[in-house]
């Protein structure tokens, strides 16, 4: 192991691409490296070894991963870094191709090989190339070393890994393996540890959070997990991400409604609404009618809930009529938060072999129409908040104005949803409006904010006494 050279710690830099689930894996790898005595580089150019944890969910993600790897290789050729290690989904999915086409990379690690990172870095520094890309079955726990990369007031907790749903457009099960849940007690202990360090917001993530426990306990145990997290840990905000629509139970909704620590935020990717498309996607465990009934039930049983969803546009064979059905549904339903993806023809997926693949220009045009509609809806929904007072967690000072902070409500997940521009309260003095001097707030503080202006996706407000 070469954690030190010439009396100085070897520094590791990491670039984590893709979703928060990948970020957790990056944090675990850094934890193992720190435990082994390696130092952490604050900037890429200070790295001795650069680890790139990749994403390959869709074409854009693959392109970003490859471009990042090529940039790292250039730094290595220039002598600015000593070695490059590539991990994650791209390495898991394209091991043979990457070994052939990118010989400059020193080591490759698959999605289930996080614990091999110390060996990979040590061998890379010793001039040995290699790969550890096995069957993905790894699952970290509360005693696994982990170095948190998010701001000090929020973190992600992966409650399970892998996926049992075989949607035709998706290759995640191939890259992440079958669904495997952590022990409830392990998750509780981890949240205790993180909250005890002052982390206010814990975001629970997995490929399919709503199936938590089924593989380990023989039944879904997500409501029990949430209940225990609320009753046994000091977490102030718990946010549940990535739930599957056919697995939302009355018990889950009851727990969400009963405990104030649980953010009233339902992340429910629907992908489409047309029954024929849903069947082709292998997502017909719930039909359009079932989805509509589910949304009504969620809004009734969890008062004030914000529902976030995501849709795919341009799926093979999607007609203009089916796309219009989706647009009409979005207009009628008025989702609080919504994202969309342009369908990506992923090799290895069943949908890639379907006839009637739609030209990119048409897919892009539909995407733009859909997002334009959602922009109007979001703007109208924000306008209803004008004059209301909301609870906000402060994320950071605005880089553009020292008198403004950036924050979020419980209805906004980090990095994906809108934010609030929070101003310190203004007062009138001698006919002039001035910012009132008073206690400054810090990241992680909860404050009450009165909404004074609304934007398309964001809000503007002032701190209330």
Where do the domains of the chain lie? Answer: 4-132, 154-383, 389-463
Token pair for 98: 């990457």
DSSP for 421-449, written as a single string: EEEPPEEEETTEEEEPP-----TT-EEEE
Given a cut of 80, whether residue 7 has pLDDT beyond it is no
170 band by pLDDT with thresholds 50, 70 and 90: very high
Distance of CA 434 to the CA centre of its chain: 39
Which residues make Cβ contacts (< 8 Å) with residue 253, sequence separation at least 6? 297, 298, 301, 302
Beta-bridged to residue 49, according to DSSP, are 12, 83
Q: What is the rounded average pLDDT for all residues in the chain?
A: 94
pLDDT for 440 equals 73
CATH architecture classification, 154-383: Alpha-Beta Horseshoe (3.80)
Look at residue 205 and give its three-state secondary structure: strand
Given a cut of 70, whether residue 292 has pLDDT beyond it is yes
pLDDT for 432 equals 42
CATH homologous superfamily of 389-463 equals Nucleic acid-binding proteins (2.40.50.140)
Q: Is the domain defined by 4-132 classed in CATH 3.30.1950.10?
A: no
Q: Exposed e or buried b for every residue in 329-352, given b needs 16+ CB within 10 A?
A: bbeebebbbbebbbbbbbeebbbe
Least confident of 166-170, 323-327, 339-343, 421-425: 421-425
Mean pLDDT throughout 415-428? Answer: 82
Tokens 């090529």 -> residue: 70
Query: What is d(CA 427, CA 424) in angstroms, rounded to the nearest whole number?
Result: 10
Q: What does the pLDDT look like over 139-148, one tens digit per residue?
A: 999 999 999 9
Mean pLDDT throughout 125-138? Answer: 94
């Amino acid at each position: 192991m070469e954690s030190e050279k010439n009396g100085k710690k070897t520094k590791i830099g990491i670039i984590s691409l893709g979703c928060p689930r990948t970020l957790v894996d990056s944090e675990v790898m850094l934890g193992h490296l720190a435990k082994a005595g390696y130092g952490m580089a604050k900037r890429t150019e200070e790295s001795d070894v650069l680890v790139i944890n990749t994403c390959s969910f869709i074409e854009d993600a693959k392109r970003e991963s490859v471009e990042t790897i090529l940039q790292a290789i250039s730094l290595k050729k220039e002598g600015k870094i000593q070695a490059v290690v590539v991990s994650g989904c791209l390495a898991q999915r394209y091991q043979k191709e990457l070994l052939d086409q990118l010989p400059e990379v020193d080591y490759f690690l698959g999605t289930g090989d996080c614990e091999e990172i110390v060996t990979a870095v040590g061998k890379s520094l010793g001039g040995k190339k290699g790969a550890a890309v096995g069957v993905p079955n790894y699952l970290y726990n509360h005693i696994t070393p982990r170095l948190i990369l998010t701001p000090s007031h929020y973190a992600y907790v992966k409650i399970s890994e892998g996926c049992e749903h075989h949607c035709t457009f998706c290759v995640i099960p191939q890259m992440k393996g079958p669904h495997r849940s952590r022990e409830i007690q392990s998750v509780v202990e981890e949240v205790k540890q993180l909250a005890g360090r002052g982390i206010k917001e814990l975001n629970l993530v997995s490929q399919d959070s709503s199936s938590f426990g089924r593989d380990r306990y023989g039944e879904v145990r997500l409501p029990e997990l949430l209940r225990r997290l609320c009753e046994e840990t000091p977490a102030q905000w718990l946010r549940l991400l990535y739930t599957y629509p056919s697995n939302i139970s009355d018990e889950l909704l009851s727990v969400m409604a009963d405990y104030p620590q649980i953010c009233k935020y339902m992340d429910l990717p629907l992908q489409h609404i047309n029954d024929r498309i849903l069947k082709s996607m292998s997502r017909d465990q719930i039909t359009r009618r079932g989805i509509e009934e589910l949304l009504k039930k969620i809004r009734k049983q969890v008062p004030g809930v914000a529902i976030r969803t995501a849709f795919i546009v341009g799926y093979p064979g999607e007609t203009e009529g089916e796309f219009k059905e989706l647009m009409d549904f979005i207009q009628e339903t008025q989702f609080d938060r919504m994202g969309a993806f342009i369908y990506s023809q992923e090799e290895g997926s069943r949908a890639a072999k379907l006839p009637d693949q739609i030209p990119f220009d048409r897919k892009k045009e539909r995407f733009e129409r859909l997002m334009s509609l959602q922009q109007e809806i979001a703007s109208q929904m924000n306008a209803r908040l004008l004059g209301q007072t909301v609870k906000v967690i402060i994320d950071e000072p605005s880089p553009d104005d020292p008198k403004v902070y950036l924050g979020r409500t419980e209805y906004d997940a980090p990095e994906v949803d809108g934010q609030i521009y929070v101003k310190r309260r203004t007062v009138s003095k001698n006919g002039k409006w001035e910012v009132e001097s008073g206690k400054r707030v810090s990241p992680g503080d909860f404050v009450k904010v009165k909404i004074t202006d609304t934007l398309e996706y964001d809000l503007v407000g002032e701190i209330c006494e």
